[in-house]
Structure 1
C-alpha cells in the first residue's frame, strides 16, 4: 500500500473522499476542526497540515481498508499524482491536477476577453501563472494543449503590443505554439499559427512573403471558411501596403462578399476599412470615405484596438486631402492618445508613419 511522504490538503482531501466521509465526519474521525478539513478541500496542494496532523493522517491511512487504499490511489492518479505501492513510497506531483486543468481553461477564456479589451496587464498575469508553472516535458497531452494555447495567446498579446520580432516576441511565441500543436497532431491549430506567423511577416515589413503565405492559406482546407476568408483579405492588405492598390481592392472585395455570406459583421466591417485604405492609396478619396463610413457604422467598435484602427484609417484618408487635413490631424491625435493609453505599440508606429508621410506630402517640397 502507498504511503504519503508529506501530506498536503490535496492528499487529505483525497483520503476523505476515499473514506466516503463528509467534511464533519472526517473531522471527527481525525479529531480536528471542521474548518481545518474545509481548508484542505479548498486550498488543496497550496496548504499543508501541521506536523502532528501529518502523523494523524498517516495513522488514518494505515488503518484504512484495502478498498480505501485503492480508491485513494485512484483519486490521486486522476489528479496527476504519481503513486507506487510499498512502504516509504513518496507521493509526488507530476503535473497539473483535474482542477488545475479546469482553472487553466477558465483563465484562457478570461484571457481572450481581456485581450479583446486590450487589458494587457491582466491577460499577461493570467498567462504567466500557467506558462511559468510547468515545462512542456512535465505535461500530458491535455496539459500540452493548454500550454500551446497559452503560448499562442501570449503571441497575440505581444503582437498587439507591437513586440513582433526578437526573443520576447509574437514570432517566437507563435513558433513555439506551432511546434507543440504539430507534436499533438492538431492540423487546424497548426494552420492557424501559420496564419498568425504570416501576420507577423506582414507587420515586420516582409510584404511579398506575407502575401504568398496568405495566398496559400486562403485555400488551405485545414482552416475554417472564416479563417480562409481572412487570409484572402490579408492578401489584399499586404498587396496594398506594397503599392498594388487596384489588385488589392479586387481581392479584398471577394473576401468582403465571403464575410457577408458567412454573416460575420465584424469581419465585414474590417474588410471595408481595409478596402477604404486601398482606395485611398489608389487616389480615390471619395470611394475611400464611403467605405470607411460603412466600416464605422457596422460591426463592433467598443474595442480600443478597433476604435484606434478606424480612427487612424479615417484620419489617413482625411489627411490625404489638403481641404480636410486639419480634421484628419485632430482625429489622428485622438487615435494616438488611445493607442498610447492602451499600449498599442504597432498602432502607435503606424500613426507616426502616417504623420511623416502626410507632412512630406504637404510640405512645400512635397507639393
Structure 2
C-alpha cells in the first residue's frame, strides 16, 4: 500500500485528484472547510497540514481502492514528500537571500511538472490558483537571478505564463489567454529560448483558431515554426495546426499537403525524448489532431475514426481529461 511519510499541500491535491472529488466534496469527505483545502493546493509543497490532519489524510488514502492509489502514485510521479519539502526550502532560501540559484529554479520546474499532471486528472480551474502562485514565485526568482541563471529563470516564467494562457482557454477567458501568451513570447524571445517561444506562439495561434481569427492563427503558426531548434513533438503539433487552419480557411489543397507533412513528422517523435514541458505531444494525442483536420475538410467518418483511435492509444487519465474533450466529442460525432 502507498504510504506518505509527511503530507504537504502537494500530496493532498494529488489525493483529491485521485479520488476525483471537487474541492467541496473533498473538504466534506475529510471533515474540514473548503477554504483549508483550497489553501493547501494554493501553497502546494510549501504547506504542511496539522498533525491531526496528517492522520485524516492517511486514513483517506488507506480507504482508497487500488485504482485510486495507482492514480495517486502517478500524479506524484514517484516523488517523495521529503523531496517536495526540500524543493520548497530551496525556493524559500533563495527568496530570503535575494539570490537565485539553479536549484531554486529546478524546484519550481518540478512543481510545475506536477501541476501539469494534476490538471490531466482534474481541470484547469482546479490547478489555476497553484499555477498563479508558482508564476509569482518564479517571477521573484527571475528578478534576483544573476547572468548565469537568468536565462533559465526567465524561461521558466515564460513557460508558466504560457501555461496560464492555456488554462484560461477552457474557461473562455480569451483576453487573459492572449495576455499570457504575449508575455510568454516576449520573455522567451528575450532569453533566446526557441522551444518556449514556439510554444507560446503556437498556443496563441490555437486561441485565434478557436475564436475564428484564421489570418492571425496562420501568421502565428508560421512564426512559431520559423525556428527549427524545437523538438520533433512540437514541430509535429505545429504542422497539424497549420493543416487545420488551412482547412478551416477552405484552402483544401494546401491543407491536405500540410496534413501529409504532419503525418510524416510523427515518425520523428521519440516519446522518451520529449521535454517535460511538451510531454503530451505524442503520436497518440496528435492522431486526434489529424481528426480535427479531417473534420474541417468535411470527412467526418475518417475524423471520427482518427479521434477514436487517438483516445484508445492515450493513457486512460489523458483520455478522460478536460483537455481531451474535443477528442471525445469528435469520436462521438
**TM-score of Structure 1 vs Structure 2, range by shorter chain:** 0.5 to 0.7
1:213-253 CA-partner distances (Å, limit 9, x unpaired) = 32233233156233223222222111111111122112211
Report what 1:151 is aligned to: 111
Q: Which residue among 212, 225, 229 is the counterpart of 2:194?
A: 225
Report what 2:288 is aligned to: 312
Report what 1:209 is aligned to: 176
Report what 1:343 is aligned to: 318
Kindly report which structure 2 residues correspond to 1:1-367, keeping only aligned pairs within 5 A, or say none: 121-122=73-74, 124-130=76-82, 133=85, 136=88, 140-141=93-94, 144-161=104-121, 163-166=123-126, 169=127, 171-184=128-141, 185-186=144-145, 187-188=153-154, 189-220=156-187, 221-222=190-191, 224-258=193-227, 260=228, 262=229, 264-298=231-265, 300-303=268-271, 306-321=282-297, 324-339=299-314, 341-344=316-319, 345-355=321-331, 359=333
Larger Rg: 1
Report what 2:43 is aligned to: none
1:265-285 CA-partner distances (Å, limit 9, x unpaired) = 433222111111212222333
Unmatched segments (≥5 aa) in structure 1:
1-118, 360-367
Aligned length in residues: 233
Unmatched segments (≥5 aa) in structure 2:
1-70, 95-100, 146-152, 272-279
CA-based RMSD of the aligned residues comes to 3.1
Identify if the C-alpha distance between structure 1 residues 161 and 288 changes in structure 2 by more than 3 Å, giving closer, same or farther.
farther
1:161-197 CA-partner distances (Å, limit 9, x unpaired) = 452112xx2x233223223333433451333322221
Give 1 or 2: higher helix fraction. Answer: 2
Q: Which has the higher contact order (CA 8 A, sep 6+)?
A: 2
TM-score between both structures, scaled by the size of structure 1: 0.54
Contact 1:296 1:310 in 2 (8 A): no
Contact 2:284 2:310 in 1 (8 A): yes
TM-score between both structures, scaled by the size of structure 2: 0.59
